[in-house]
Amino acid sequence: MATIPVIQAANGYLNPPSDEETLSMFTPEDAITREIEEFIQNHAVSVEMRSKPEYSESRPHLKIPESQRNHNLTGGTLMGPGKVAVPPFVWSERGGKSLVSISYLGADLCGHPGIVHGGLLATLLDEGLARCCFAALPNKVGMTANLNINYRSPAPAGAFVVLRAKTTKVDGRKAWVEGHIETLVGEGETPVVLVEASALFIEPRQAAVSGYFILLLWHPVSTYSLIEDGKSLSSSINGLRKLTLPMKRKTHSQELY
């Protein structure tokens, strides 16, 4: 019985909801969150991105199994009222070419009073640039090898921001990405660039192995907790393998980062 939550989490990682399904998985719980949600939903940038057939819309953080979100920095710890108030909206271009994301950054994410912490902006760029290029890598997963940040203007808290990223080069298991975070403005207005970044992501050599081994990389604590008295790691993984093999043998790591 102790392994049931782990198996459920494993199944959630290996069989996440589709991009389209994530768009209906979030329900605002209060008036302020509802207002933020509706503002992003109806903004001109969102409308424009939905008109481009080469882009798919999703809310990737909702693909993380609900039982595991409290253990995920951007999908749980930083999410909620006063923080990243609603799960970000993301538009990804086919083939990992580019990405656009809209978020709301609340007043509890500050370094200096009223100014969003620079470390949070770096985290958003690390994640956003990574998500941008994953579809361009052979097995759709990569690790950050290098991240360069240049801060251009203070980022006010309690505001909407847009992250824009573009994959500039792909060479085998390596992908180079550039991007920035800017203010979300109305039609005809010029956004302010808050921070810029460039990064290199490298796909691990072991990324080609089956999905249940990728799970070891993504969530080792849960996987190792499969081990009970008298059971070895290999037998525990074999038990997980039997449960997951009937499912699609596709690694969805690119949809979780």
What are phi and psi for residue 175, nearest 5 degrees?
-140, 135
Written as six digits, the tokens of 112 are 């200096």
pTM higher than 0.85 for the full model?
no
Give the rounded distance of the alpha carbon of 148 from its chain centre.
19
In this prediction, residue 127 carries a pLDDT of: 97
Contact 137, 155 (CB under 8 A): no
Any idea where the domains of the chain sit in the sequence?
A: 26-210
SS3 content of the chain, % helix, strand, coil (to 5): 40, 25, 35
pLDDT digits (tens, 9 = 90+) for 159-204: 999 999 999 999 999 999 999 999 999 988 999 999 999 999 999 9
For residues 110 and 118, give the distance between their C-alpha atoms in angstroms, rounded to a whole number: 8
Mean pLDDT of residues grouped by 10 in the chain (257 residues)?
Answer: 58 80 96 98 97 97 92 95 97 98 98 97 98 96 96 98 98 97 95 98 82 44 37 43 40 42
Tracing tokens 């923080």 back to the chain, one arrives at 83
In this prediction, residue 208 carries a pLDDT of: 75
- How many CB atoms are located within 10 Å of the residue 129 CB? 27
In this prediction, residue 113 carries a pLDDT of: 96
Of 149, 198, 202, 200, the closest CA to residue 178 belongs to 198
Domain with residues 26-210, CATH architecture: Roll (3.10)
Give the rounded distance of the alpha carbon of 81 from its chain centre.
19
In this prediction, residue 206 carries a pLDDT of: 84
